[in-house]
Protein backbone atom coordinates (compact mmCIF):
# COMPACT_ATOMS: atom_id res chain seq x y z
CA UNK A 1 0.00 0.00 0.00
CA UNK A 2 1.19 3.50 -0.79
CA UNK A 3 2.57 5.42 2.24
CA UNK A 4 1.00 8.68 1.01
CA UNK A 5 -2.45 7.09 1.06
CA UNK A 6 -1.90 5.79 4.57
CA UNK A 7 -0.82 9.23 5.81
CA UNK A 8 -3.70 10.98 4.03
CA UNK A 9 -6.18 8.46 5.45
CA UNK A 10 -4.81 8.91 8.95
CA UNK A 11 -5.05 12.70 8.70
CA UNK A 12 -8.60 12.64 7.34
CA UNK A 13 -9.67 10.05 9.91
CA UNK A 14 -8.11 12.03 12.74
CA UNK A 15 -9.79 15.21 11.56
CA UNK A 16 -13.15 13.43 11.39
CA UNK A 17 -12.73 12.14 14.94
CA UNK A 18 -11.79 15.64 16.13
CA UNK A 19 -14.80 17.23 14.45
CA UNK A 20 -13.06 19.20 11.70
CA UNK A 21 -14.35 18.90 8.17
CA UNK A 22 -12.11 19.37 5.18
CA UNK A 23 -13.96 20.62 2.13
CA UNK A 24 -17.30 19.24 3.26
CA UNK A 25 -18.97 22.50 2.26
CA UNK A 26 -21.02 24.69 4.53
CA UNK A 27 -24.50 25.98 4.00
CA UNK A 28 -24.71 29.73 3.70
CA UNK A 29 -26.55 30.42 6.96
CA UNK A 30 -24.40 33.27 8.25
CA UNK A 31 -24.29 34.96 11.58
CA UNK A 32 -26.27 38.10 10.89
CA UNK A 33 -24.25 41.33 10.57
CA UNK A 34 -24.77 43.94 13.27
CA UNK A 35 -23.92 44.91 16.83
CA UNK A 36 -23.79 42.33 19.62
CA UNK A 37 -22.87 41.89 23.27
CA UNK A 38 -20.46 39.00 23.86
CA UNK A 39 -19.84 37.16 27.11
CA UNK A 40 -17.90 33.95 27.66
CA UNK A 41 -18.26 31.53 30.53
CA UNK A 42 -15.06 29.55 31.10
CA UNK A 43 -15.86 25.92 31.92
CA UNK A 44 -19.50 26.99 31.76
CA UNK A 45 -19.25 28.79 35.14
CA UNK A 46 -16.73 31.64 35.31
CA UNK A 47 -18.06 34.72 33.49
CA UNK A 48 -15.84 37.13 31.60
CA UNK A 49 -16.66 40.84 31.24
CA UNK A 50 -19.16 41.73 28.53
CA UNK A 51 -17.56 42.88 25.27
CA UNK A 52 -18.97 44.85 22.37
CA UNK A 53 -18.94 43.03 19.04
CA UNK A 54 -19.51 44.20 15.49
CA UNK A 55 -20.02 41.65 12.70
CA UNK A 56 -19.43 42.75 9.12
CA UNK A 57 -19.64 40.00 6.50
CA UNK A 58 -17.49 37.13 7.73
CA UNK A 59 -15.43 39.32 10.07
CA UNK A 60 -15.92 39.48 13.84
CA UNK A 61 -14.60 42.65 15.53
CA UNK A 62 -14.57 43.02 19.31
CA UNK A 63 -13.18 45.26 22.00
CA UNK A 64 -11.44 44.16 25.18
CA UNK A 65 -13.92 43.65 28.02
CA UNK A 66 -16.25 46.45 26.94
CA UNK A 67 -13.62 49.20 26.77
CA UNK A 68 -11.46 50.56 24.01
CA UNK A 69 -11.92 50.65 20.25
CA UNK A 70 -14.40 48.14 18.86
CA UNK A 71 -11.92 46.60 16.42
CA UNK A 72 -9.07 45.54 18.74
CA UNK A 73 -9.70 41.82 18.22
CA UNK A 74 -10.57 40.39 14.82
CA UNK A 75 -11.61 36.87 13.91
CA UNK A 76 -13.20 35.08 10.98
CA UNK A 77 -16.62 33.46 10.84
CA UNK A 78 -17.04 30.28 8.79
CA UNK A 79 -20.75 29.75 7.98
CA UNK A 80 -22.43 26.50 9.01
CA UNK A 81 -26.00 25.29 8.51
CA UNK A 82 -27.00 26.40 12.05
CA UNK A 83 -24.88 29.52 12.58
CA UNK A 84 -21.11 29.72 12.26
CA UNK A 85 -17.68 28.84 13.55
CA UNK A 86 -15.59 31.66 14.97
CA UNK A 87 -11.86 31.13 14.51
CA UNK A 88 -8.70 33.15 13.98
CA UNK A 89 -8.32 31.79 10.46
CA UNK A 90 -10.20 29.52 8.04
CA UNK A 91 -7.18 27.24 8.13
CA UNK A 92 -8.16 23.77 9.52
CA UNK A 93 -5.13 23.75 11.82
CA UNK A 94 -6.21 27.05 13.39
CA UNK A 95 -9.71 25.62 13.82
CA UNK A 96 -8.24 22.57 15.51
CA UNK A 97 -6.40 24.68 18.10
CA UNK A 98 -9.36 26.87 18.97
CA UNK A 99 -12.84 27.67 17.74
CA UNK A 100 -16.28 28.69 18.92
CA UNK A 101 -19.23 26.92 17.31
CA UNK A 102 -22.32 29.15 17.29
CA UNK A 103 -25.94 28.11 16.84
CA UNK A 104 -28.85 30.51 16.38
CA UNK A 105 -31.20 31.09 19.31
CA UNK A 106 -34.13 33.41 20.02
CA UNK A 107 -31.85 36.06 21.60
CA UNK A 108 -28.91 35.82 19.19
CA UNK A 109 -26.40 32.97 19.25
CA UNK A 110 -25.10 30.43 21.75
CA UNK A 111 -21.61 29.09 21.31
CA UNK A 112 -19.41 26.36 22.69
CA UNK A 113 -15.67 26.95 22.90
CA UNK A 114 -13.44 24.10 21.76
CA UNK A 115 -9.67 23.90 22.15
CA UNK A 116 -7.05 21.41 21.04
CA UNK A 117 -9.13 19.36 18.65
CA UNK A 118 -12.44 19.25 20.39
CA UNK A 119 -12.09 19.69 24.14
CA UNK A 120 -15.05 21.86 25.23
CA UNK A 121 -13.80 24.62 27.53
CA UNK A 122 -16.78 26.90 27.96
CA UNK A 123 -19.87 28.61 26.63
CA UNK A 124 -20.41 31.92 24.89
CA UNK A 125 -23.49 34.12 24.61
CA UNK A 126 -23.77 36.52 21.67
CA UNK A 127 -26.82 38.80 22.12
CA UNK A 128 -28.05 41.03 19.32
CA UNK A 129 -28.21 44.73 20.23
CA UNK A 130 -31.25 46.38 18.72
In a 10 Å sphere around its CB, with 0-12 CB exposed, 13-18 middle and 19+ buried, how is residue 93 labelled? exposed
Q: In this predicted structure, what is the pLDDT of residue 26?
A: 40
Query: 9: which residues sit within 8 A by CB, 6+ positions away?
Result: none
Q: What is the mean pLDDT of each run of 10 residues along the chain (130 residues)?
A: 59 52 50 91 88 91 79 87 89 87 92 90 92
pTM here is 0.72
Q: In this predicted structure, what is the pLDDT of residue 89?
A: 84
Q: Which domains occur in the chain, in start order?
A: 25-128 (2.40.128)
Amino acid sequence: MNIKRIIAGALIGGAAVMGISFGAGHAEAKIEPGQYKYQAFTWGLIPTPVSNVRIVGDQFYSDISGVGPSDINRATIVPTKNGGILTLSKDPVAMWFGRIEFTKTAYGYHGTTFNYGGIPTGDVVLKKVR
